[in-house]
């Protein structure tokens, strides 16, 4: 077979990034068997990340404007995403924002969703609108549902219970989910909580029914089983009867409502919360009509074998169900090698994805934004931003990328995956600027390059009569060295450093909150005893100069005298370093670090293996990527005793930073 070549001259990073502006996301995406397809029949691959609604905090108060979260968005953020090849976002929204009062849609909140959709659309980026919850609601857990939708049967949140342990140990979270599945009546309405939730989905679907840039709605992030089957164990968490009893009727109602309100919109449904972490079999009911049905699954498997099991199980399920597939959460790791390996797993299976990065995805792609949490931003962006076939005039067969060499190989059949005519149009391969600063060369067998040299979208036309097309993309020149610096400090850290020196003596209710959180163990203590308080204060200018005694005046129900006395006693046990405020760097590992980070460090792992034998091989390791070691104690009390945690903390403190 003749090989047709098109050689691109080295042209410089600015030229490559701006050589072709992305076209607006204006054509409709549908579903055909396991694939996403466009109106011409080409297979569509989605790549991108999870983003928050600009101008709001993380959901503990969905209406509050936050200076930190304003910094998550700039005038060029969407454009920067497109320059790195990303064409999709999962926009996190909350029912607490959509319907803060039972039965009443907040049109201003939906207008803000529309504004974000329009900004991404202009950059060629599609939006999945994700109705998100974490431990049901800020009332009993973290965020998601409004207060009127919370029915915990009289249970109060367990103080000190950190995410995600509330799913397994806190009756307030579990009973709230139980009553959601029972469609508990909402006082003052003639409807149940699930009825009103579906009304919220319907209102958003109706608003965007004619907007092709909205690829669809994710009905609920990580639904939980409630008080049944709530065990972080791969055997005990396998409860297929609950998928039929709880998810099936809910997804049928939600899918039918969205299909009626927005007939051309895809309906995405998710497995139960633990199935993407433990590798338990996925049998999620998928109820939307043909052409508009898809599975969105998360994969936080702590080891490769579990991740493979989750990916393969999800893929087998959608093939059986006749639905498209997309991963909507993965990553949450600052090891570029780990991210590269997981991205390669998706490449090999042709699975679209929207990552959940450790820091803000917006700051990862936009270097003009202050970044916190993403480690070495450039190294991490190179791991996430990979060339890929955004549109394929046929059916994908194989795809691989070697980031070290800058070589991508792609092969596809020229026939479409389902019945019908041969797909029209060209194959379009996205070229991320960060991997090709000096341009690229390309060779094609079975097709012809149609794009001009240096364009950020490589366009290929199938040759007449060709059954397959093979593409090899190669980087020109070398990548620049990685910067040695970590992410820039956040505005909150700058404010903490501006505080007066920490005084000698024990911390008390009258200590500045900034001094408390800057003291080792202080932030964890406040998060444990007053869940959500620091998050809720994050938008308040000067919060770091307040004291717990100051807060009592407007939180007297929570900060009672008895509670303040208890906090005084616990604060007094913390080791205070008098003098200028010092902020611990990201690299310092403590008992409040994520368990997966501790196990990834050889020295820290040796400490855990010595002081907490059995932890690293526990059947509950699916919790490790999102759970801090200390927060695991309720799930593993025999392994993580108070004494074991004390010894672990002491040993970790001796490790070099």
Bridge-partner residues for 547, per DSSP?
512
pLDDT < 70 regions, the chain: 1-22, 56-71, 420, 484-495, 531-542, 553-557, 583-587, 657
Helix (H, G, I), strand (E, B) or coil at 577: coil
Q: 296-346 pLDDT, tens per residue?
A: 999 987 778 888 999 999 999 999 999 999 999 999 888 888 899 999 999
Q: What is the pLDDT of residue 231?
A: 83
Assess contact for 396 and 386: CB atoms under 8 A: no
Question: Would strands 427-430 and 3-7 be described as parallel, antiparallel, or unpaired?
Answer: unpaired
Domain ranges in the chain are 46-387, 491-571, 595-653
Tell me if the pTM is above 0.95: no
Q: How far apart are CA 293 and CA 350, in angstroms?
A: 17
Residue whose structure tokens are 């396991």: 34
Q: What is the pLDDT of residue 41?
A: 93
Q: Token pair for residue 357?
A: 């990065």
Cβ-based burial of 203 (10 A; exposed 0-12, middle 13-18, buried ≥19): middle
Q: Token pair for residue 391?
A: 């549109």
What is the CATH number that goes with domain 46-387?
Answer: 3.20.20.80
Helix (H, G, I), strand (E, B) or coil at 215: strand
CA dist 601 → 341, 606, 607 (Å)? 18, 9, 10
CB atoms within 10 A of CB 33: 17
Helix (H, G, I), strand (E, B) or coil at 146: coil
Q: 467-512 pLDDT, tens per residue?
A: 999 999 999 999 888 775 444 344 455 567 778 999 988 999 999 9
String of DSSP letters for 14-69: HHHHHSSPPPPS-S--EEETTEEE-TTS-EE--EEEEEEPTTS-SSTTTT---HHH
Which residues are CB-contacts of 357 (< 8 A; sequence separation ≥ 6)? 49, 50, 331, 332, 364, 373, 374, 380, 384
Q: What is the pLDDT of residue 63?
A: 33
Q: What is the pLDDT of residue 1?
A: 35
Residue 244 DSSP code: I
Q: How far apart are CA 63 and CA 97, in angstroms?
A: 7
**Given strand 440-445, what is the order of strands in its sheet?**
3-7, 440-445, 468-475, 407-413, 395-402
Helix 602-611 to helix 642-653 angle, to the nearest 10 degrees? 150
Residue 148 DSSP code: G
Residue whose structure tokens are 């450790």: 358
């Amino acid at each position: 077979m003749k090989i047709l070549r098109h050689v691109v001259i080295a042209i410089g990073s600015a030229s490559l990034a701006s050589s072709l502006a992305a076209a607006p996301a204006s054509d409709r995406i549908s579903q055909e068997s396991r694939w996403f397809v466009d109106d011409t029949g080409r297979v569509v691959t989605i790549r991108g990340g999870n983003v928050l609604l600009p101008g709001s905090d993380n959901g503990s108060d969905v209406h509050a404007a936050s200076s930190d979260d304003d910094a998550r968005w700039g005038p060029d953020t969407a454009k920067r995403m497109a320059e790195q090849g990303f064409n999709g976002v999962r926009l996190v929204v909350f029912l607490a924002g959509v319907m803060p009062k039972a039965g009443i849609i907040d049109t201003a909140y939906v207008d803000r969703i529309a504004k974000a959709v329009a900004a991404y659309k202009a950059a060629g980026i599609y939006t999945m609108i994700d109705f998100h919850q974490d431990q049901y609601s800020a009332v009993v857990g973290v965020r998601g549902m409004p207060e009127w939708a919370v029915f915990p049967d009289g249970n109060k949140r367990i103080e000190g219970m950190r995410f995600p342990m509330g799913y397994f140990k806190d009756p307030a979270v579990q009973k709230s989910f139980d009553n959601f599945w029972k469609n508990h009546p909402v006082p003052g309405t003639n409807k149940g909580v699930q009825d009103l939730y579906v009304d919220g989905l319907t209102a958003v679907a109706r608003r965007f029914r004619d907007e092709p840039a909205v690829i669809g709605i994710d009905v609920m992030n990580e639904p939980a089983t409630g008080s049944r089957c709530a065990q972080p164990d791969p055997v005990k968490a396998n409860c297929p009867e609950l998928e039929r009893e709880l998810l099936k009727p809910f997804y049928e109602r939600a899918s039918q409502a969205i299909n009626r309100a927005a007939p051309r919109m895809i309906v995405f449904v998710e497995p139960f919360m633990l199935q993407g972490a433990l590798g338990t079999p996925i049998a999620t009911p998928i109820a939307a009509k043909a052409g508009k049905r898809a599975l969105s699954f998360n994969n936080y498997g702590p080891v490769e074998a579990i991740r493979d099991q989750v990916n393969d199980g999800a893929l087998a399920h959608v093939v059986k169900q006749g639905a498209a597939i997309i991963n909507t959460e993965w990553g949450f790791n600052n090891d570029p090698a780990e991210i590269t390996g997981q991205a390669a797993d998706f490449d090999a299976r042709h699975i679209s994805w929207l990552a959940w990065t450790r820091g803000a995805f917006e700051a990862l792609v936009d270097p003009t934004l202050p970044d916190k949490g993403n480690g070495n931003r450039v190294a991490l962006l190179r791991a996430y931003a990979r060339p890929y076939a955004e549109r394929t005039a046929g059916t994908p067969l194989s795809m691989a990328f070697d980031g070290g060499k800058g070589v991508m190989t792609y092969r596809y059949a020229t026939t479409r995956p389902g019945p019908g005519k041969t797909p029209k149009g060209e194959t379009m391969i996205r070229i991320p600027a960060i991997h090709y600063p000096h341009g690229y060369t390309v060779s094609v067998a079975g097709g012809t390059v149609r794009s001009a040299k240096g364009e950020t979208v490589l366009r290929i036309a199938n040759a007449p009569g060709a059954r397959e097309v093979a593409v090899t993309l190669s980087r020109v020149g070398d990548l620049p060295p990685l910067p040695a610096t970590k992410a820039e400090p956040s505005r909150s850290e700058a404010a903490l450093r501006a505080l007066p020196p920490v005084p000698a003596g024990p911390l008390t209710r009258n200590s500045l909150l900034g001094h408390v959180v800057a003291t080792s163990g202080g932030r964890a203590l406040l998060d444990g005893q007053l869940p959500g308080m620091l998050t809720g204060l994050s938008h308040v200018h000067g919060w770091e100069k307040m004291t717990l005694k100051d807060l009592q005046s407007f939180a007297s129900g929570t900060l009672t005298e008895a509670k303040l006395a208890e906090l005084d006693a616990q604060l007094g046990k913390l080791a205070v370093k008098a003098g200028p405020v010092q902020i611990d760097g990201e690299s310092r590992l403590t008992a409040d670090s994520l368990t997966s980070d501790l196990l990834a460090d050889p020295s820290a792992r040796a400490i855990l293996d010595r002081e907490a034998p059995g932890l690293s091989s526990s059947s509950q390791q699916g919790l490790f990527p999102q759970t801090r070691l200390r927060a695991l104690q309720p799930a593993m009390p025999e392994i993580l005793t108070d004494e074991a945690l004390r010894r672990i903390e002491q040993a970790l403190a001796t490790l070099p930073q």
